[in-house]
Structure 1
């Protein structure tokens, strides 16, 4: 017979007060030591590489400052509602990304499983970017920077370098020595002002491109994945070792690590901003970044880009927000925290645009190019355009070290929080096995080892193709939009928006702004659905450095999209077979402050009546809850 606590709740099971009672050998579920640990962890997760390498480019591409209009429309009516929904769900249930949905609505447990599949994709491929960053950081300590010259063993005869007027003014005096161009014949390279203003590399490739292609990626002609680049494998191993030791003790350690990893990138951003805006040409770069083009507002692609950027940058539909929120005390004001975090993330993205475009404006000015020729996004910005701009500066090694340290820490906290999310989900699924002493360390190690092995194909000679496929189709807009649409519908119409509002009021002491209810019911599903249809209608084949994805690539991309989404109908069928009478009945140990009230009303009319009987433990536990749970960390 199961042993029970004084409240009548089985030991080792979360009771109606949200406190977990330990059961023989099973460690209690921890809580954040204080609210700041939660804030920094969330900030570290949502503020990442996308703020630096995607948002500024989308602003430039989609009408400059006008892009802020669709971006904030999506943020207010789609991003914030889903962001708050997932965080509040975790805090209310005190469960990870899978079991939270099982408790709220058993038939939609597949939503949590689908999110964990996407997190698995992220854990495998996202850390490869950190391996590249470590490789560049190591080479940043060399002088001259190895990607700034054509004198290296990986360079070809097509490599053409150009020195900076700003960084090396002596080279542009009368009688200067240009012997470093000895690998280029006179007819091939004409030192003519009009010629170099059009293209600094009239023939061949820049040293930055050759370093990226031939030294880092070492792409083969047939893009085969048979040979692993051993030095990148060491960088990937180092990234996983650092990640593991940041989280292997669970939130007890993670909550302390994020104080540094979440704040250090801001220091680097500020230093690079001060340097960038003081460079010649910075003003022109900022003008290109912000100049509004009102006509772009009628382009559906602009609205699509704004929507996908919101979903990518706020880490929604990945179970991460639910996992982090689940470690909050029951009466934490997660509504206030979510509003502050959303504002911080958007402000960081806008500020990062100033950092990026001030330096790119300098590069365009120094090399006699238009901004159109130097602006790029994604890996092209971080590993080609920006390193090229930094190599033109005096003391280029110093600035390169700062830049790649920033990139490393921006990606690191996002990575280890994703791993923490997966470990939390698995621990909550199997608490009797994975919450025992030292089980957490072993679980995290297993996740790290498996993901490291699965990530090795991404650093082979053709690994960039697989990387781009996972990046575009693994955590794709199609998957995220579909899951967000389902989450809003489940909370709004199945569980009941009014019931969820009552739960939130019980936690934070007041009801959130009323528009959130209507976002969950109507606006968010509508926006997600329309954007999803646009995404499907405009999907196109990927080309990676001239290599067109073939039949196998198309099959893999389809599998990457369908794998998480298939979890949703599969678990609906499982719930149907198990107990169809309780498919939508929330767990009985969830605290319901107003169980007699309707779960959904519209225009003061009852749409769905109350479904949960009054909980006899509500009154006796209310005082303890509002005082806050004791931290076990």
Structure 2
């Protein structure tokens, strides 16, 4: 059996994990959530959920990946075969994630290329391709002072129904004959009007997949070298933006909007759910990436050190991004004579509409804009290639003989996965692609993630056993985890996950994009996308019971619960090449 590749240095794994966990959500989701969910008061549930949910679950996934030396499907199959479908579900989510997440990086590249002009294309409405609704505030009209009977030009009041140049550049759909279409989305009126493929975006999307390919084509050996830059460069930019932001007029107002406590909002259950969901999504629990990356660790790698570093860096990044974002938004609000409340948005609107508008008021706006969008690319690319590696690792782990026979080399498998994901991502770069992008983003992860996470957690901590996992950690590191982690694995984390899942089901509303209501068929398509991962759990159960030993259904069910690692020496069974004490384990369920 071929020895599993490992990270050259622990710091490479650490940077890769940080790059995977710290993504675009830290920049465009956390600041808005903090502001809208109680400001400084939101930090109370945020850090509480970080300690009680994100921290122990990250420890759990890192331990599982490092001990089993397998991706999510193989890891769950070795711990509790009955729930191996939960591991497969994380791979399905990762695949769906890769098809649309790379589109965000594509938009960032489009903006980056647009920065290399004498005048930024979103700075005014003087281009022939601008829509009639574009308003840049430069229009003037005559005003007559009746007292002095004198007339002079004054700025016109912004008409209703108009949009800013940055919004016009980002999503306007109007076309102009014989003119180059330089705006980004050319957004149609709905998902039922897909229109044409934006070939500029399609070519950039292909380029992004080529970049992802060369980041992971040699496994951890190539990825480990890339993350030295991609995981560290965003922090340089965030510090530059923060230093620049706090020196701008109005920055203090923006920061106060960000951190001013609204204690009364802590009584709203949704605030606590938002805090848990932010930690969950930011750390990447149940996406398969953590288990996959840790499976390339040396067997005796010190896990708790990595856990603490990743969690602390992720939390600090959220706060750093929040101060940097709101300091500049405060300046934008002051320049426009508005409240910060009137300019803040979340999601793509923040980084592709609001922030580009803020750069237009700065000296050398092309430089600040280019650096910002290059930062977004680096933030996104780590999460993108880590999620792609989940798919590649799973296929290679379970179909290695076939890969060896038909594809010859792993590099060909990586190329095939990247190409298929590229083709599946093309609907996102049509004129109606933004609607499809938002639909799959909502249903592929937001709807089903907590459901899958719940089954993953109970499979590991209840059926395999939290105490047994603790003994596995001792086998690797020489000491068992603190009782705090055992209690969180057994009780606290599963209850939090179940509570979030239940609350999301109770408060479910049909998905809307701004003021756009999706047609019934699109909502059904969304639920079909969600079902692709959800159904993996029961299908995996049926398959495990069918394959289990036993003459009766009850015997097969009992045997499908028992971990195969108790049948032989665990270290031999796992084919561990990097040290570790050999030890037999017995079934330890809750």
Q: Same fold (TM over 0.5)?
A: yes
Equivalent runs, 1:609-620 vs 2, <5 Å: none
CA distance in 2, matches of 1:309, 1:286: 20
1:62 paired to 2:37: yes
Structure 2 residue aligned with 1:351? 320
Equivalent runs, 1:141-180 vs 2, <5 Å: 141-162=116-137
1:362 paired to 2:331: yes
1:217 paired to 2:151: no
Residue aligned with 1:475, SS: helix
TM-aligned CA distance change 1:468 to 1:222, over 3 Å: closer
Cα shift at 1:502: 0.5
Question: Is residue 14–residue 310 contact of structure 2 (8 Å, CA) maintained in 1?
Answer: yes
Question: Is residue 167–residue 353 contact of structure 2 (8 Å, CA) maintained in 1?
Answer: yes
CA distance in 2, matches of 1:400, 1:623: 46
TM-aligned CA distance change 1:585 to 1:464, over 3 Å: same
Cα shift at 1:226: 3.7
Residue aligned with 2:85, SS: helix
Equivalent runs, 1:230-249 vs 2, <5 Å: 230-249=199-218
1:453 paired to 2:423: yes
CA distance in 1, matches of 2:285, 2:317: 18
Given the alignment, which residue of 520, 540, 552 partners 2:509?
A: 540
Structure 2 residue aligned with 1:467? 437
CA distance in 1, matches of 2:579, 2:116: 56
Aligned length: 554
Task: Provide Cα deviations, 1:112-136, integer angstroms capped at 9, x if missing partner.
Answer: 1000010011110000000100000
Task: Provide Cα deviations, 1:317-352, integer angstroms capped at 9, x if missing partner.
Answer: 011111001000111011210111011101101110
CA distance in 1, matches of 2:153, 2:130: 21
Question: Is residue 300–residue 578 contact of structure 2 (8 Å, CA) maintained in 1?
Answer: no
CA distance in 2, matches of 1:435, 1:338: 35
Using the size of structure 2 for normalisation, the TM-score is 0.90
Question: Is residue 475–residue 580 contact of structure 2 (8 Å, CA) maintained in 1?
Answer: no
Task: Provide Cα deviations, 1:541-583, integer angstroms capped at 9, x if missing partner.
Answer: 2333543111011101211222211111111111111211521
Cα shift at 1:445: 0.6
1:130 paired to 2:105: yes
1:489 paired to 2:458: yes
Structure 2 residue aligned with 1:625? 580
TM-aligned CA distance change 1:470 to 1:203, over 3 Å: closer
TM-aligned CA distance change 1:326 to 1:222, over 3 Å: closer
Task: Provide Cα deviations, 1:475-533, integer angstroms capped at 9, x if missing partner.
Answer: 11x42212222222122221111111100011111111211111111111111111111
Structure 2 residue aligned with 1:306? 275
CA distance in 1, matches of 2:426, 2:153: 44
Question: Is residue 154–residue 211 contact of structure 1 (8 Å, CA) maintained in 2?
Answer: no
CA distance in 1, matches of 2:131, 2:570: 75
Equivalent runs, 1:419-434 vs 2, <5 Å: 419-434=388-403
1:335 paired to 2:335: no
CA distance in 2, matches of 1:140, 1:36: 34
CA distance in 1, matches of 2:408, 2:361: 51
Unaligned 5+ segments in structure 1 are: 1-11, 13-21, 23-27, 163-179, 589-610, 628-633
Structure 2 residue aligned with 1:582? 559
Structure 2 residue aligned with 1:25? none
Residue aligned with 2:580, SS: helix
1:208 paired to 2:166: yes
TM-aligned CA distance change 1:82 to 1:207, over 3 Å: same
Structure 2 residue aligned with 1:388? 357
Residue aligned with 1:331, SS: coil
1:229 paired to 2:198: yes
TM-aligned CA distance change 1:613 to 1:323, over 3 Å: closer
Structure 1 residue aligned with 2:20? 45
CA distance in 2, matches of 1:567, 1:191: 66
Given the alignment, which residue of 529, 548, 556 partners 2:525?
A: 556
Question: Is residue 501–residue 511 contact of structure 1 (8 Å, CA) maintained in 2?
Answer: yes
CA distance in 2, matches of 1:110, 1:83: 20
Structure 1 residue aligned with 2:175? none
Unaligned 5+ segments in structure 2 are: 145-151, 173-182, 549-555, 583-590
Given the alignment, which residue of 325, 329, 335 partners 2:294?
A: 325
Question: Is residue 187–residue 431 contact of structure 2 (8 Å, CA) maintained in 1?
Answer: yes
TM-aligned CA distance change 1:578 to 1:292, over 3 Å: same
1:315 paired to 2:284: yes
1:112 paired to 2:87: yes
TM-aligned CA distance change 1:555 to 1:160, over 3 Å: same
Structure 2 residue aligned with 1:604? none
Given the alignment, which residue of 252, 259, 262 partners 1:290?
A: 259
Structure 2 residue aligned with 1:174? none
Given the alignment, which residue of 76, 82, 95 partners 2:51?
A: 76
TM-aligned CA distance change 1:201 to 1:304, over 3 Å: farther
When structure 1 is superposed on structure 2, of 234-243 and 48-57 the one drifting more is: 234-243
Using the size of structure 1 for normalisation, the TM-score is 0.84
Cα shift at 1:624: 4.2
Structure 1 residue aligned with 2:473? 504
CA distance in 1, matches of 2:507, 2:343: 26
Structure 1 residue aligned with 2:484? 515
When structure 1 is superposed on structure 2, of 200-209 and 485-494 the one drifting more is: 200-209
Structure 2 residue aligned with 1:440? 410
TM-aligned CA distance change 1:64 to 1:241, over 3 Å: same
CA distance in 2, matches of 1:132, 1:248: 24
CA distance in 1, matches of 2:304, 2:54: 14
TM-aligned CA distance change 1:574 to 1:438, over 3 Å: closer
Cα shift at 1:626: 6.3
Question: Is residue 311–residue 480 contact of structure 1 (8 Å, CA) maintained in 2?
Answer: no
